[in-house]
């Protein structure tokens, strides 16, 4: 049996989000809960599947480096129909392009931003399940903050995100240059 990979463990999961964003955000911008997404244009939705706005929300939280714990009551949480491993496949969606690699970047970001004792994990002193739980928590909390951010904007102006460039503008506001961190170690040789 091939060694299990933490990426695969993570990708088979399904993140949770707060139900209260279902109507105000997810259904507002996605074809969530309506079957095939090929009619996106006709319905005037900005995005296709519900997970797309989740990804957007996640990256907002990530770049703002802001997390927001999910509501305690698990009854008030929900998950999407498909686990992360299928996100962005978009095989049959007209006018769209698949973006399978984005999953890997999300994973990369989660590893960078989650405080997991990988040495303990490597030693077997911590279960891989526990580590993936922690990654999922980071993911959910970033996205939760992103949803909260969007909701805030929408409260001021319900049409805020219906401007053509509104989502893009949020991401243009972040610094695109690579942070020149001084305390960073020189990259190691890879031998």
- Residues lying near another protein in the complex (CB under 8 A) are found at 3, 5-7, 46-48, 52, 55-56, 59, 62-63, 88, 90, 95-99, 101-102, 104-105, 108-109, 111-113, 118-119, 121-124, 128, 131, 164-168, 171-172, 174-179, 181, 184-185, 187-188, 190
Q: What span, in angstroms and rounded, lies between the C-alpha atoms of 49 and 54?
A: 9
Of 122, 142, 143, which is closest to residue 6 (Cα–Cα)? 122
Q: What is the dihedral of CA 129, 133, 139, 144, to 10 degrees?
A: 150
Residue 79 beta carbon to another protein: minimum distance, rounded to whole angstroms? 20
Residue 73 beta carbon to another protein: minimum distance, rounded to whole angstroms? 31
Residue 75 beta carbon to another protein: minimum distance, rounded to whole angstroms? 30
Pick 8 or 152: Cβ nearer another protein: 8
Q: What span, in angstroms and rounded, lies between the C-alpha atoms of 113 and 97?
A: 28
Pick 36 or 174: Cβ nearer another protein: 174
* 152: its two tokens: 């805030």
With contact defined as beta carbons under 8 Å apart, do 70 and 141 qualify?
Answer: yes
Residue 74 beta carbon to another protein: minimum distance, rounded to whole angstroms? 28
């Amino acid at each position: 049996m091939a060694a299990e990979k933490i990426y695969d463990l993570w990708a088979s999961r399904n993140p949770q989000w707060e139900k209260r964003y279902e109507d105000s955000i997810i259904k507002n911008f996605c074809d969530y809960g309506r079957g095939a997404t090929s009619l996106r244009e006709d319905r005037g939705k900005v995005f296709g599947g519900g997970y797309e706005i989740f990804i957007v929300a996640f990256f907002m939280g990530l770049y703002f480096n802001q997390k927001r714990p999910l509501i305690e009551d698990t009854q008030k949480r929900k998950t999407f129909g498909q686990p992360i491993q299928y996100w962005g496949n978009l095989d049959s969606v007209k006018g769209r392009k698949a973006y399978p690699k984005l999953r890997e970047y999300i994973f990369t970001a989660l590893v960078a931003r989650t405080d997991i004792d990988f040495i303990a994990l490597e030693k077997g002193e911590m279960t891989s399940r526990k580590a993936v739980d922690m990654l999922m928590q980071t993911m959910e909390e970033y996205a939760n903050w992103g949803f909260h951010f969007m909701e805030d904007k929408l409260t001021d102006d319900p049409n805020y995100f219906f401007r053509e460039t509104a989502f893009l503008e949020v991401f243009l506001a972040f610094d695109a240059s690579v942070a020149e961190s001084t305390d960073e170690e020189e990259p190691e040789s890879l031998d």
